[in-house]
Amino acid sequence: MIILALETSCDETSAALLKTEDSRFKVLSNVISSQVKIHEKWGGVVPNLAKREHQKNLPLVLEEALFKVKNEKIDLLAVTVGPGLEPCLWVGINYAKELAAKMNLPLVPVNHIEGHILANFLGKKQKNIFPAVCLVVSGGHTQLIFMTGIGKYKLLGETRDDAAGECFDKIAKILNLGYPGGPIIAQKAEEWKAKGEDRKFNMTLPRPMMHTKDYDFSFSGLKTAVLYEFKKRDPKIRKSSQYIKEICFEAQQSIIDVLIKKTIKAAKDYSVKTIIMGGGVSANKELREQLEERSRKEGFNFLVPPLGLCTDNAVMVAIAAYFHRHQAKKTGWQDLAADANLRI
């Protein structure tokens, strides 16, 4: 089976073709067009601007994805229907409907969050994994999900305010580092760690909700703490490279500490076999390494997607569609609609 998938939930336009055989996956093509440079000056994604770029880029991305795979018969279409930015979601959905009508193919609606989780199954044997706890961590979501099988999910907890990725962006804005914040903060933190510098500024940022008995998160207080820490410093210190690197290291570690503490707690409480991570923030090197080390130490299997499948992409949409291919319809797909707040 060959699946053609489209992804337009936020600011990446993507098309991919995935070949499946005996529950094994082979990526035939995966084309992603990022809008980061366009939204950079705004400090975040502007929905209507993102929609316009999707409309312009989707035909080009699809053409390139198909060009890489000639003479292959497509059996199934898939598209992200939510959650995400509604104007952006509709671009992909409407385009997928046109393709379904033109190619007379069944169309599968895909949950974006489930796609991030199931991206972990590329190249992995689907045995001895469940039950599992899934940490989905991105610019829009920070969730802990208990998973007993494909399509069998229970939301344990989520952020009560800012998502982890959103917190990274806001901290970077406070520090005048630009957008997106996650990669910039990670780079500065890595530079500070690599030099093995002492903590010259003696800052300690909070770890919000790290010791609460639930599985929820809150990162708005950390953002505020960074703001107060930054404002109390002399202007010369604020501009110093050493200060910026140290506060980036401390802020990043604060987020990582909370994510790991809550994830391990959930994994122990639910007696799982595996910890699964997905979402854009799962590309963070320190988070990947520290959560894997802690997971192995506590006796859990650990799954995280390859770096190229952490941020939004159509491969993860195709993988999710494969597992839900029974939901495909040659008729009735006309009723597919965007759901910006779709839950897993």
Q: Residues of CATH 3.30.420.40 domain(s) within the chain?
A: 2-121+309-335, 132-304
Side-chain half-sphere exposure of 1, counting CA atoms within 13 A:
21
pLDDT of residue 302: 97
Looking at residue 251, what DSSP letter applies?
Answer: H
Write down the mean pLDDT value for the chain: 95
pLDDT at 70: 77
pLDDT at 331: 61
pLDDT, position 198: 73
Quick one: CA dihedral 56, 336, 339, 154, positive or negative?
negative
The 10 Å CB-count burial string (b at 16+, else e) for 15-46 is: bbbbbbeeeebebbbbbbbbbeeebeeeebbb
Q: At how many degrees (to 10) do helices 181-195 and 241-269 cross?
A: 100
List Cβ<8 Å contacts ≥24 apart for 327-335. 327/108, 327/109, 328/76, 328/106, 328/107, 328/108, 329/106, 329/107, 330/100, 330/104, 330/105, 330/106, 333/97, 333/100, 333/106, 333/107, 334/97
Here the tokens at position 101 are: 């009508």
pLDDT of residue 301: 97
Residue 16: partners with Cβ closer than 8 Å, 6 or more residues away = 4, 5, 7, 27, 28, 29, 30, 31, 65, 313, 314, 315, 317, 318
Q: What is the pLDDT of residue 334?
A: 82
Instruction: Mention every residue, 6+ apart, whose C-beta is less than 8 A from residue 246.
Output: 192, 197, 199, 200, 201, 203
**Helix orientation angle between 241-269 and 220-231, rounded to the nearest 10 degrees:** 160
Q: Which residues of the chain have pLDDT under 50?
A: none
Q: Which CATH number fits domain 132-304: 3.40.50.720, 3.40.50.11610, 3.90.1150.10, 3.30.420.40?
A: 3.30.420.40
Class of domain 2-121+309-335 (CATH, top level): alpha beta
Q: What is the pLDDT of residue 327?
A: 84
**Is residue 317 within 8 Å of residue 79, measured between CB atoms?**
yes
Q: For residue 329, what pLDDT is reported?
A: 72
pLDDT at 123: 80
H or E segment at 94? helix 86-103
φ/ψ (deg, to 5) at 213: -80, -10
